[in-house]
Chains A and B, each alone.
Chain A
Amino acid sequence: MGSMRRPAAPPISGKFCDDPVLDYKDTDNLRRFLTAHGQILSRKRTGYCTQCQKQLKQAVKRARHLALLPFVG
Chain B
Amino acid sequence: MAQTYEGMFLLDNQVVREDWKKAKSIVTDLLKKHGAKLLCARRWDERRLAYTIRRHRRATYCLAYYEFPPAGIAALIRDLELNESVLRYLVLARDSVPAGELELAAAEDAADFTVPAPPPDDAPDSPSHGVRRREDGTEVDPDAPEGADLDGKLEAAPSGMET
Contact = CB atoms under 8 A, between A and B. Distances in A.
Nearest to B128: A28
B154 A35 contact: no
A35 B50 contact: no
A65 interface: yes
Interface in A18-70: 24-25, 28, 31-32, 35-37, 45, 62, 64-70
Contacts of B145: 36
Contacts of A71: 50-51
A16 to B, nearest CB: 11
Q: Which 6 A-B pairs have the closest CB atoms?
A: A67-B49, A70-B50, A36-B146, A9-B150, A67-B50, A3-B162
Contacts of B53: 67
Most buried by B among A3, A32, A35: A32
A6 B118 CA distance: 48
Given A25-B44, A66-B88, A10 B51 contact: no
Given A31-B130, A69-B50, A70-B50, A9 B154 contact: yes
A28 B146 contact: no
B90 interface: yes
Contacts of A25: 8, 44, 63
A21 B119 CA distance: 32
A10 B135 contact: no
16 contacts: A4-B163, A6-B154, A9-B151, A12-B135, A13-B135, A25-B8, A28-B133, A32-B132, A35-B146, A45-B150, A66-B10, A66-B88, A67-B50, A67-B51, A67-B88, A71-B51
Contacts of A7: 154, 157, 161
Given A1-B163, A35-B146, A65 B88 contact: yes
B149 to A, nearest CB: 9
A9 B153 contact: yes
A7 to B, nearest CB: 7
A36 B151 CA distance: 14
Contacts of B88: 65-67
